[in-house]
Amino acid sequence: MMAAYAQQAVDTASKAYGRTLDFSGGSVAALEEVLAALTPSEPENEEYLTRLWGSYLGEVMVREFGGEWTMSLYPGSEFSVPTVVVRGSRLYPLMKVFRRLTLGEDENLANFYRLVRQRLEPAKLQ
């Protein structure tokens, strides 16, 4: 399901925003540009946008770092969310996108991805 949403994000980014998303780490900057172009949405649309763009961000992590999708409790809450697990590290791409959509540019996805890469790449080489 997450891969299908991610593919839909690729198509939407191309058709609606003129951005190329290719599942590489470098494409997260283009994803950030798409989210920056979005106007504040209605609450009922936030769930769909979170799922669409968060699935893409998660698929990049799965492909770049060899992770896998699972469901797990979000820290400090009582609800399960789609989670990317990479060698024991739990990443919550949908929650990150939700924060980007609701809190704005301080939650920049390209900056976030750089931090994730710094943390996970050394382990990737081992």
Per-residue model confidence (pLDDT) at position 121: 78
Per-residue model confidence (pLDDT) at position 45: 85
Q: What is the SS3 assignment for 74?
A: coil
CATH number of residue 77's parent domain: 1.20.120.1090
Amino acid at 48: Y
Per-residue model confidence (pLDDT) at position 124: 53
- pLDDT per residue of the chain (126 residues) written in tens, 0 to 9: 999 999 999 999 999 999 999 999 999 999 999 999 886 666 668 889 999 999 999 999 999 999 999 999 988 888 899 999 999 999 999 999 999 999 999 999 999 999 999 988 765 555
Per-residue model confidence (pLDDT) at position 112: 97
Exposure class string for 19-57: b at 16+ Cβ within 10 A, else e = bebebebebbebbbebbeeeeeeeeeeeeebbbbbbbbb
Per-residue model confidence (pLDDT) at position 43: 63
In which domain, by residue range, is 121 found?
A: 2-125
Per-residue model confidence (pLDDT) at position 101: 92
- Separation of alpha carbons 8 and 27, rounded Å: 15
Length of the chain: 126
Per-residue model confidence (pLDDT) at position 40: 60
Residue with tokens 């959509």: 101
The sign one gets for the Cα dihedral 68, 52, 97, 118 is positive
Domain count, the chain: 1
